[in-house]
Structure 1
Amino acid sequence: MKASLRLLAFALLLSSSQAADPARQWTSSDGKSKFMGNLIEFSDKEVKIRRTTDFNQFRLPLDKLSKEDQDYIQGLLREKRRDGGLKEGAHAAKITGQFVKGVSKQGLNYQLWGNPKLDGTKRYPLVIWLHGSGQSGSDNESQLGGAPKIWTTEDNQAKDPCFLLAPQCPSADIGWKNEVAANLLALIADLSEHLPIDETRLYLTGSSMGGFGTFSIAAKYPGVFAACVPLCGGGDVKNAEILKATPFWVFHGDKDDMVPVDRSRAIVAAVKQAGGELMKYTELEGAGHGITGLVYPRADLHEWLFQQKKPAKSAN
């Protein structure tokens, strides 16, 4: 009787463990051996697996497994690294609840804001702010200019917690294109590797030169951003077909004396002509060029933006 109870307890324990970590098929690097097993432990060098047929546990060097199995483990390691990214890792020191300066591996100046009290096992959006031409340079301070801070207020963070990235374009003559755009994408990728950032909720926004940059970067790197919010900018109408797949909310003042409102009207019309149904447009009556203070505090913008999410990738 006691033996039966012990066997039942073992079976319940085993089934509970398997439910938490379902068995999967593992394949050797040469493809000759395949077996079903539960992953018990893993590192960047080896795995510990319990075989389902006889419950034997054994360790295997990672390089003895198939490329698919190695990729699976690397994915688990990546998520484990991101889980702990608020407290340790490449960017943990920048997550303080204040804007902290940094320089990317490619030499792009930026400031990053993140809340150290977030739950690292969850994933949060990243809002990327592109400043206008007057904030270009190398001081790594001018790009803040007040506009990005709206996303980090206590009330907004309580409702829509997120990270905020404010890069600085080195020169207005270059703008948010070419190597500057490439360096920005590399920085976003690096932050996403080490912090609990939801890569299905990357949001790009900017004003003036940053508005133009929002359009051009979204066209150059389609499928990266879940939504874009360009202010008093404009885009190349030849990119309408590319841009129509991304949700946009475009803003422009009808009295803008620096960037004609027709620049926004033209790209919005072109995208809609191409069949785009995700392009929203708000023209601010009587407003000039400086509209960040009118646009970014809007509750309806925040509600719309944080609802945007890229569709999940197909398993196939």
Structure 2
Amino acid sequence: MNSFLRLLALGLLFSSAQAANPPREWTSSDGKSKFLGDLIEFSDKEVKIRRRSDFNQYRLPLDRLSKEDRDYIRGLLREKRRDTGLKEGVYAEKVTGQFVKGVSKQGLNYQLWGNPKLDGTKRYPIVIWLHGSGQSGTDNESQIGGAPKVWTSEDNQAERPCFLLAPQCPSADIGWKNQVADNLLAHIADLTEHLPIDESRLYLTGSSMGGFGTFSIAAKYPQVFAACVPLCGGGDVKSAEILKQTPFWVFHGDKDDMVPVERSRAIVAAVKQAGGELMKYTELEGAGHGITGLVYPRTDLHEWLFQQKKPNPAAK
């Protein structure tokens, strides 16, 4: 399991643990001592626990506890960090209600949109927008355009609050694959570590080169995204068996003179032939290549997308 998926599984597990925070059987690092107790205080160095048998309170260094207990505490610390991420986290200054530029730890340019007035103790989806080839480069500006902004409109945010991430691919010759894809996933993982993002509701969408990227990234990281919406793109039919696991809504104009509509038809047919029942397809009659303005404002798309949710791996 790669590092992103480990963070995803642990994040969902510990989010549930923090919400309940029940009495717990604590185990010493050597496994010889166990007792039932309530967690009173915790930090990255030590814990304070009240033992149920006599109500005595003990301060214990983390390294005196079992690995399972240490992981539990680290998970609580992670959720505490995410609870306060809008106000004092490493991304707090980028959550302003406007698109704010940044460069990821891996060197990927991006713009992030988030509402600072959200309740940080709740968890919200994030929409990741992949632009087309013409917006590639290093200006960290071209990728915005008009397409991503529909997700941040006042009406949409009131109905379906979310974060919006708009990364910029450094070169159309590279596209949304290989190291660029890996860098993007690493950045998404870092965002979920420090902001109140619902890791079971990561949504990937893109147009043209971004449509191709949506298919390829979903195939490379099949357990990450709750739903994908590729526009006027296409995917490798050999990945049909993998892609059938993820809900898709594919859009393409039947008069597209840049990316033939057959590219979407082929991957949709391949997924369905592989037994996939989660792939929707809408072909826009008379539409050409520029369909973002037709697709993204659709209320039915927003309703469908925000209903999609990954199952909690902690429940398995």
Band the TM-score falls in, shorter-chain normalisation: over 0.9
Q: Which position in structure 2 is the counterpart of 1:8?
A: none
Q: Distance in 2 between matches of 1:209 and 1:198?
A: 27
Deviation at 1:72, TM superposition (A): 0.1
Q: Which position in structure 1 is the counterpart of 2:273?
A: 273
Could you give the per-residue CA deviations for residues 16-65 of structure 1, whole angstroms, max 9, x where no partner exists?
A: xxx97421100000101011000000000000000000010110000100
Percent identity over the alignment? 88
Question: Structure 2: where are the runs of 5+ without partners?
Answer: 1-18
Q: Which has the higher contact order (CA 8 A, sep 6+)?
A: 2
Q: Distance in 2 between matches of 1:246 and 1:215?
A: 10
Q: Distance in 2 between matches of 1:161 and 1:222?
A: 25
**TM-score, L = length of structure 1:** 0.93
Matched residue pairs, number?
298
Q: Which position in structure 2 is the counterpart of 1:229?
A: 229
3-state SS of 1:35 partner:
strand
Could you give the per-residue CA deviations for residues 162-206 of structure 1, whole angstroms, max 9, x where no partner exists?
A: 000000000000000000000000000000000000000000000
Q: Which position in structure 2 is the counterpart of 1:71?
A: 71
1:123 counterpart = 2:123 = yes
Q: Distance in 2 between matches of 1:272 and 1:67?
A: 44
Deviation at 1:269, TM superposition (A): 0.2
3-state SS of 1:269 partner:
helix
Q: CA RMSD, aligned part only?
A: 1.0
Q: 4+ runs of 1 displaced by more than 3 Å?
A: none
Q: Distance in 2 between matches of 1:33 and 1:91?
A: 41
Q: Which position in structure 1 is the counterpart of 2:152?
A: 152
The one-letter amino acid paired with 2:50 is R
Q: Which position in structure 2 is the counterpart of 1:14?
A: none
1:208 counterpart = 2:208 = yes
Q: Distance in 1 between matches of 2:20 and 2:96?
A: 34
Q: Which position in structure 2 is the counterpart of 1:62?
A: 62
Q: Distance in 2 between matches of 1:286 and 1:224?
A: 34
Deviation at 1:313, TM superposition (A): 1.1
Q: Distance in 2 between matches of 1:249 and 1:21?
A: 38
Could you give the per-residue CA deviations for residues 119-157 of structure 1, whole angstroms, max 9, x where no partner exists?
A: 000000000000000000000000001100000000000
* 1:43-58 matched pairs, under 5 angstroms: 43-58=43-58
3-state SS of 1:211 partner:
helix
Q: Which position in structure 1 is the counterpart of 2:9?
A: none
Is the alpha carbon distance of 1:32 and 1:218 closer, same or farther for their aligned partners in structure 2, counting shifts above 3 Å?
same
The one-letter amino acid paired with 1:82 is R
Q: Distance in 2 between matches of 1:128 and 1:237?
A: 23
Q: Which position in structure 1 is the counterpart of 2:85?
A: 85
